[in-house]
């Protein structure tokens, strides 16, 4: 996850907000965000709003992982 240069817009389809964060496309595809994105290279750029959506979804994923570990560990 990194900072984004000015002038880059959000990768989410139909969103024209300026991007504030970038995540790797691998990371993004692991998280079920229900967002459709235009992938340019290996990075996904997200605006403030969509980054919130991603963060929420990734927290859910982590909780699920912990649950799996505690169940099978």
Residues in contact with Zn ion by the rule CB under 5 A: 10, 12, 15, 17, 47, 50
In whole angstroms, the minimum distance from the beta carbon of 41 to Zn ion comes to: 18
- Closer residue to Zn ion, CB minimum distance, 17 or 25: 17
Instruction: Kindly give, in sequence order, each residue whose CB lies less than 8 Å from that of residue 28, ignoring residues fewer than 6 positions away.
Output: 37, 44, 54
- Closer residue to Zn ion, CB minimum distance, 43 or 50: 50
CA dihedral 57, 62, 66, 68 (to 10 degrees): 60
Whether 46 and 35 have beta carbons less than 8 Å apart is answered as no
In whole angstroms, the minimum distance from the beta carbon of 66 to Zn ion comes to: 29
Q: How far apart are CA 64 and CA 36, in angstroms?
A: 23
- Closer residue to Zn ion, CB minimum distance, 52 or 63: 52
In whole angstroms, the minimum distance from the beta carbon of 61 to Zn ion comes to: 20
């Amino acid at each position: 996850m990194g900072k984004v240069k000015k002038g880059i817009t959000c990768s989410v389809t139909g969103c024209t907000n300026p991007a504030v964060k970038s995540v790797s496309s691998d990371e993004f595809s692991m998280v079920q965000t229900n967002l459709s994105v235009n992938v340019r290279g290996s990075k996904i750029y997200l605006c403030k709003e969509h980054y919130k959506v991603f963060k929420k979804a990734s927290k859910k994923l982590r909780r699920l992982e912990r649950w799996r570990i505690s169940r099978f560990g």
